[in-house]
Amino acid sequence: MKTGLEYAIHLDEQDSLSPYRDEFYVSEDTIYLDGNSLGLLSKRSEKAVLTVLNAWKNHAIDGWTDGEYPWFYLSEKIGKEFAPLVGAKPEELIATGSTTINIHQLVASFYEPKGKRTKILADELNFPSDIYALQSQLQLHGFSPTEHLVQVKSKDGNTLHTEDIVDAMTEDVALIVLPSVLYRSGQILDMKTITQAARERGILIGFDLCHSIGSIPHFLSEWGVDFAFWCTYKHLNGGPGSVAGIYVHEKHLSKIPGLTGWFSSAKDKQFDLEHELTPAQTAGAYQIGTPHILSIAPLIGSLEIFSEVGIEKIREKSLQLTDYLINLVETELRDFQFELSSPREDSMRGGHIFLTHPSAASICKALKAEGIVPDYRSPNGIRLAPVALYNTFQEVWKTVQTLKAIMIEERYKKFENTRGVIA
């Protein structure tokens, strides 16, 4: 097993994606391993934002139809750019809203309790915002979340078993909403198998792709996933609060969304300003209000990079990076109470690894003091995300060596073992 610095240098020299590091604002004084929470700014995104700002400055109201990126069609343009990343058709995609707003939109559209089918199936490891939204939607329908939100249990507190999810698809389940990648452990769920099982039982199913889009390939249309949603500020590098995305399978595109607004309209009818909605016959119907133009602009630049590189090459390097990181952890940190809580198998591991340790919070603070940016997750988790587009194998090597020194010299004991305001 090769883990030395010479091997890291060799891997960097062989890396076909290494030129893209210069596309991003990377601080040479910092090793940034938190791209699964907030990706770095690319120079192309910066340029796109300035271009859109200039359109506002130079065209004012006419920026909706004039300029390099007319605002009226920008959500659809970005939607098309999502297509190769999620395995869907352009008309099934739209850039709109935020993750939680889009959950509300999609559940309001697809949760139709009838007879004994009244429950929503989720899991106990999902990000809290998803659960809050599902609880809220149940309450709006007059159902108790305690009784009608079923959450698949984890046997180890970090991962889920496909058979447990399928077993929970009982006759009283009306809708399933699951993550594609678990935000803590980085486990990839078997979306194809789970979707097939849901279809066989006549249950609609949707996935939260926040921790997978831009990191792993998807085949949503082929698998028959009914809907999906995601943020764009993690692996897609769209910036803080950048506009999110929605996928709706083409078989549902004639359905009127549960929440409508004037941007739900067919584009050619929108400015007729009639009180009877003529919804778009695309995923554009799932928009509600006016697009957040300045928050969608960075995606013009960032998605251009993804289009050039291709998700397959990104996935290939991502697996190399996390595999190298795991090998280093297992050889260099085996004496310091760290536990790898991410799947070891490539097919089950997303774009980050998850280590647990009793002193995780103070260790994260010690790493930041050394110029390495990890991500702490309560109560005892450390997420490390080497991103294919801008991280190097040498950075991975240095991170583990620094972490080893922190443990040997007990530098972490200088810090309180509590999280900061933002983990």
Whole-angstrom distance, CA of residue 337 vs CA of residue 329: 11
262 is in an annotated binding site: yes
Q: Evaluate whether 289 touches 261 at the Cβ level (below 8 Å).
A: yes
pLDDT at residue 252, as a whole number:
98
Whether the predicted pLDDT of 422 surpasses 80: no
CA 144-145-149 angle, 5° bins: 125
pLDDT digit string (tens) for 314-337?
999 999 999 999 999 999 999 999
Q: Evaluate whether 192 touches 165 at the Cβ level (below 8 Å).
A: no
Compute the average pLDDT of residues 335-341: 96
190 is in an annotated binding site: no
Whole-angstrom distance, CA of residue 34 vs CA of residue 374: 5
pLDDT digit string (tens) for 256-294?
999 999 999 999 999 999 999 999 999 999 999 999 999
Whole-angstrom distance, CA of residue 396 vs CA of residue 266: 49
> Domains of the chain by range and CATH?
5-32+310-414 (3.90.1150.10), 47-308 (3.40.640.10)
Instruction: Please give the mean pLDDT across all residues of the chain.
Output: 97
Q: With 0.95 as the threshold, say if the pTM is over it.
A: yes
211 is in an annotated binding site: yes
Task: Name the pLDDT band for 421 (thresholds 50, 70, 90).
Answer: confident
342 is in an annotated binding site: no
Compute the average pLDDT of residues 183-192: 98
233 is in an annotated binding site: yes
pLDDT at residue 2, as a whole number:
84
C-beta pairs of 12-17 under 8 Å, 24+ apart in sequence: 12/392, 12/393, 12/394, 15/317, 15/392, 15/393, 16/313, 17/309, 17/313, 17/314, 17/317, 17/388, 17/389
Whole-angstrom distance, CA of residue 156 vs CA of residue 196: 25
Phi then psi dihedrals of residue 406, to 5 deg: -60, -40
Task: Name the pLDDT band for 3 (thresholds 50, 70, 90).
Answer: confident
129 is in an annotated binding site: yes
208 is in an annotated binding site: yes
56 is in an annotated binding site: no
User: HEC profile for the chain?
Assistant: CCCCHHHHHHHHHHCCCHHHHHHECCCCCCEECECCCCCCCEHHHHHHHHHHHHHHHHHHHHHHCCCCCCHHHHHHHHHHHHHHHHCCCHHHEEECCCHHHHHHHHHHHHCCCECCECEEEEECCCCHHHHHHHHHHHHHCCCCHHHHEEEECCCCCCCCCHHHHHHCCCCCEEEEEEECECCCCCEECCHHHHHHHHHHCCCEEEEECCCCCCCCCCCHHHHCCCEEEECCCCCCCCCCCCCCEEEECHHHCCCCCCCCCHHHECCCCHHHCCCCCCECCCHHHHCCCCCCHHHHHHHHHHHHHHHHHCHHHHHHHHHHHHHHHHHHHHHHCCCCCCEECCCCCHHHECCCEEEECCCHHHHHHHHHHCCEECEEECCCEEEEECCCCCCCHHHHHHHHHHHHHHHHCCHHHHCCCCCCCCC
pLDDT at residue 420, as a whole number:
84
Whether the predicted pLDDT of 423 surpasses 80: no
399 is in an annotated binding site: no
pLDDT at residue 50, as a whole number:
98
Whole-angstrom distance, CA of residue 330 vs CA of residue 327: 5
Whole-angstrom distance, CA of residue 266 vs CA of residue 260: 12
128 is in an annotated binding site: yes
Compute the average pLDDT of residues 156-168: 98
Compute the average pLDDT of residues 384-413: 98
pLDDT digit string (tens) for 206-243?
999 999 999 999 999 999 999 999 999 999 999 999 99
Q: Evaluate whether 10 touches 207 at the Cβ level (below 8 Å).
A: no
pLDDT at residue 24, as a whole number:
98
Whole-angstrom distance, CA of residue 309 vs CA of residue 233: 18
Whether the predicted pLDDT of 91 surpasses 90: yes
pLDDT digit string (tens) for 30-54?
999 999 999 999 999 999 999 999 9
pLDDT at residue 417, as a whole number:
95
Amino acid at 13: E
